Structure 1
Amino acid sequence: MPKKIRHTVCVTPVPVANRGFLGRSRIVAAPGWSRWLVPPAALSVHLAIGQAYAWSVFKPALEKALDLTGTQSALPFQLGIVMLGLSAAFGGTLVERNGPRWAMFVSMTCFSSGFLISALGVLLSQYWLVVFGYGFVGGIGLGIGYISPVSTLIKWFPDRPGMATGIAIMGFGGGALIASPWSAQMLASFGSTTSGIATTFLVHGVVYAVFMTMGVLLVRVPPDGWTPKGWTPTAVKSRALITTADVSARNAIRTPQFYCLWVVLTCNVTAGIGILEKAAPMITDFFAGTTVAVAASAAAGFVALLSLANMAGRFVWSSTSDLIGRKNMYRVYLGVGALLYLVIALAGNASKPLFIISALGILSFYGGGFATIPAYLKDLFGTYEVGAIHGRLLTAWSTAGVLGPLIVNAVADAQEAAGRSGPALYTTSLYVMIGLLVVGFLANELVRPVHERFHERPRETPLTEKGQVV
């Protein structure tokens, strides 16, 4: 007896919230509107929330002014990353339902308010307000803002989804390059006292609100049925993993493909963040006692290079995935990444250029993995609720954010306690990362087209005014 194929009917009534200024219906692009205005709108949000990577600039001043330990001063950032994953996972459906303008506005409100609450907390010497403001409230802004443009960009650029999402997500990686010197300059100008830090936070909140508002006002969604001139959906159907069907977020998390990609992203991010979080002390330890010892200033330069590789990889590699396919691109991220880790483990401190080049490659794959995953999801699950699916998948980021630093730091501490030094502090963790990348590589090989039983049924049934099936 043949299996019964179950479908769900794609019925999406327009929420009341979508009828106002922030609603999707108010931002449908007029004929002739240029789709190239959407990436700048997305960048205005991602460049702002990418400030999260520059939190360390505030740590010394906060520790001195509020008498905090290093662990305590990291709490706002740690909570912010946790809330990023949670808000992206649980808010993804709302983002899809209410549209990108609503999402960007919520992100702007939360992210900027987080700085304002933090300013009040520092001024009153109430550190819990800093943790709550930047970590909890601001963290919600991080998560909603991160996924806010993804679905819209993919719908505007069905011919080049990897490039489009790479442009926006590149902004998140590059936000710290702007925020770090800017924040340091303000602390130098206003001072590192409680009033100076509070003023710095206040300026951040106001300026980021203005900057992100440009995205809120500029973003548009394409009209129903819109396609780029001269492009048809059948033009990209030549690859086996690209579907023209749609899968809801609810059904996506029931598929093995979702969990394969969750493992892929977790492994790739864990490997990258393991180096990123420990970059400066790692290069210093590797070459300590050699003729090419690395000074603190040079180590800081190495961190800046890694940030550039992270940012560039988000655009370059995600754009390359449009040409060679998402699965092949992740074969490069995971397979070549494992080889680069092996080079570092075997070469040790024999060659500083080889160490730096390998680390830059790994960090470019780290950034590229973030930027390519939305397009991979679009290939497998369609555009229907790709933003919500992406939000749920970002729980892999939260997991990797704990695993990567934990592995590298725990192994280094254990080796140091055993009397080892130099590359020996990291050799074990390097091999652990290789193992994780191999696991991710295998998970990527298991990815197959999504079975049609998970597809949404085309809307062919007449609907009543209330959106009910007749």
Structure 2
Amino acid sequence: MKKTKNRWLIALSAVGIHISIGSVYAWSVFTNPLIEQYGWELSYVSLTFSIAILFLGLSAAFMGHFVEKYGPRTSGIVAAGFFGIGMMASGGAAVLESLWLLYITYGILAGIGLGIGYITPVSTLVKWFPDRRGLATGLAIMGFGFSAMIASPIMANLIDTVGIPATFFILGLIYFIVMMASALYLERPPEGYMNEFSEEKKKTPDLSQLTANEAVKTRRFWLLWVMLFINITCGIAILSVASPIAQEIAGLSTGAAAAMVGIMGFFNGAGRIAWASISDYMGRPNVYSTFFLIQIIAFFTLPAITHALLFQLVLFLIISCYGGGFASVPAYIGDLFGTKQLGAIHGYILTAWAAAGLVGPLLVSWIREATESYVLTLSIFGISLAAAFIVSLWIRLDIRQLKQENEDSQRNTA
């Protein structure tokens, strides 16, 4: 008999992939050096990051079926190729001083690797951890959140010592090796793995077993999409302007605000593992409603908080909910639609990320310029989160109805 792999090493492999691709959140480290060395404008350099996030969402949506068909090992190797080669090729773009080539190499190629790499381990982990879905997906996605903390100082040091092109070459090669080694260990669990948690024996069986194309035709898919979209829009918006907001409202110095942004990276990662683990005990619907309640209060009270430490603590809480939304959604998908095509459904849901990545920063900048204050911005996001809270209650009606239908069906069968 073939020996069953250690599921915690499978989880570690997932972290290896996510901690590599999560370095995209450290893109801002490249911003000033690229502007200073090549004379490119800030908006043009920042567009590289936006393109990468856009292609993350698009490739996750369109390549979800590829992940399900060919399995985590093949799709992980493909992700390593796109991301690693995209990063190394970005070094070539820097050598040639071509911004358009950087858009193609980092924005499109690495962006495609981001999307495939993001969804590849998640559906596999859900199947390896049927008893602790939230913890498993939280572990992997935690790596994505923590990555910027690890990558930022390394990137800054490399840029100072070996220059921009060599930094891209070195990091691209390292990420390629780490992702490739991680992908080669990944595989689906064997047939009949942990039968004690099979659908018939689980206390709370999955509500359905749908394909991705069936899932998108249900109302609960779109309710979940809206919840994730609002949570990400508000979180990304706060991330993009955290420093100026803290300086304007709480009076933080430039240095203190910069330090706060670094600490936010920790809470982004910690929130992913903490909230996802809590969701195993509270249930995914309760966790999402809790996210939104916390953030409604936080966004409406932030403008009145002038105490620097308290202001920062509230911001950290918001960012933990932002990270927790990402980490809890794969397990929520498994609860609602089953694991038949979880990777593909997760890919479709992540189009909310691509949309929010464009809407959030643009919206907060537009409102700030129009009102010359961040107060109205925070209030608008508070109202948006109140709408998300209502949606989180609405989806419960669908869940309750589906549970009743399943119970009626079982009684009729019996």
CA distance in 2: counterparts of 1:401 and 1:379, whole angstroms:
26
Aligned-pair CA distance for 1:234: 4.2
Taking the TM superposition and a 5 Å limit, the aligned residue runs for 1:83-232 are 83-190=55-162, 196-227=163-194, 230-232=196-198
Residue matched to 2:290: 332
Question: Do structure 1's residue 248 and structure 2's residue 211 form an aligned pair?
Answer: yes
Q: Deviations over 1:234-284 (max 9, x none)?
A: 45434xxx4264100010000000000010001111111121111111111
Residue matched to 1:38: 10
Residue matched to 1:233: 199
CA distance in 2: counterparts of 1:32 and 1:257, whole angstroms:
35
**Identical pairs, percent:** 40
Aligned-pair CA distance for 1:32: 4.2
CA distance in 1: counterparts of 2:378 and 2:252, whole angstroms:
20
CA distance in 1: counterparts of 2:294 and 2:193, whole angstroms:
38
Aligned-pair CA distance for 1:150: 0.9
Question: Do structure 1's residue 357 and structure 2's residue 313 form an aligned pair?
Answer: yes
Aligned counterpart for 1:314 among listed residues 272, 286, 289: 272
CA distance in 2: counterparts of 1:136 and 1:216, whole angstroms:
21
Contact 2:142 2:272 in 1 (8 A): yes
Taking the TM superposition and a 5 Å limit, the aligned residue runs for 1:259-298 are 259-287=222-250, 293-298=251-256
Aligned-pair CA distance for 1:443: 1.2
Residue matched to 1:80: 52
Q: Which moved more, 1:79-88 or 1:207-216?
A: 207-216
Contact 1:66 1:127 in 2 (8 A): no
Letter of the structure 1 residue corresponding to residue 335 of structure 2: D
Secondary structure of the corresponding residue to residue 24 of structure 2:
helix
CA distance in 1: counterparts of 2:47 and 2:330, whole angstroms:
29
TM-score by length of 2: 0.94
Going by fraction, where is helix more abundant, 1 or 2? 2
Contact 1:326 1:376 in 2 (8 A): yes
Aligned-pair CA distance for 1:215: 0.6
Secondary structure of the corresponding residue to residue 27 of structure 2:
helix
CA distance in 2: counterparts of 1:439 and 1:234, whole angstroms:
36
Residue matched to 1:430: 378
Contact 2:50 2:358 in 1 (8 A): no
Aligned counterpart for 1:370 among listed residues 314, 319, 326: 326
CA distance in 2: counterparts of 1:367 and 1:261, whole angstroms:
16
Letter of the structure 1 residue corresponding to residue 256 of structure 2: A
TM-score by length of 1: 0.83
Question: Do structure 1's residue 382 and structure 2's residue 343 form an aligned pair?
Answer: no
Aligned counterpart for 1:403 among listed residues 329, 353, 359: 359
Q: Which moved more, 1:112-121 or 1:359-368?
A: 112-121
Question: Do structure 1's residue 258 and structure 2's residue 221 form an aligned pair?
Answer: yes
CA distance in 1: counterparts of 2:393 and 2:207, whole angstroms:
22
CA distance in 2: counterparts of 1:278 and 1:353, whole angstroms:
18
CA distance in 2: counterparts of 1:396 and 1:126, whole angstroms:
31
Q: Which moved more, 1:270-279 or 1:179-188?
A: 270-279
Residue matched to 1:11: none
Letter of the structure 1 residue corresponding to residue 50 of structure 2: Q
CA distance in 2: counterparts of 1:109 and 1:37, whole angstroms:
22
Contact 1:57 1:183 in 2 (8 A): yes
Number of positions where the alignment pairs a residue of Structure 1 with one of Structure 2: 402
Aligned-pair CA distance for 1:353: 2.2
Aligned-pair CA distance for 1:402: 1.8
Contact 2:4 2:189 in 1 (8 A): no
Question: Do structure 1's residue 441 and structure 2's residue 381 form an aligned pair?
Answer: no
CA distance in 2: counterparts of 1:123 and 1:354, whole angstroms:
46
CA distance in 2: counterparts of 1:125 and 1:361, whole angstroms:
41
Secondary structure of the corresponding residue to residue 278 of structure 1:
helix
Distance 1:147 1:32, change over 3 A: closer
Aligned-pair CA distance for 1:163: 0.5
Runs of 4+ in 1 over 4 A off after TM superposition: none
Letter of the structure 1 residue corresponding to residue 51 of structure 2: L
Aligned-pair CA distance for 1:451: 5.2
Question: Do structure 1's residue 305 and structure 2's residue 268 form an aligned pair?
Answer: no
Secondary structure of the corresponding residue to residue 278 of structure 2:
helix
CA distance in 1: counterparts of 2:78 and 2:286, whole angstroms:
36
Letter of the structure 2 residue corresponding to residue 322 of structure 1: D
Residue matched to 2:410: none
Aligned-pair CA distance for 1:383: 0.4
Q: Which moved more, 1:213-222 or 1:86-95?
A: 213-222
Contact 2:65 2:344 in 1 (8 A): yes
Aligned-pair CA distance for 1:172: 0.6
CA distance in 2: counterparts of 1:133 and 1:94, whole angstroms:
22
Aligned-pair CA distance for 1:232: 4.3
Name the larger-Rg structure. Answer: 1
Contact 2:77 2:180 in 1 (8 A): yes
Secondary structure of the corresponding residue to residue 335 of structure 2:
helix
CA distance in 2: counterparts of 1:34 and 1:233, whole angstroms:
22
Letter of the structure 1 residue corresponding to residue 316 of structure 2: L
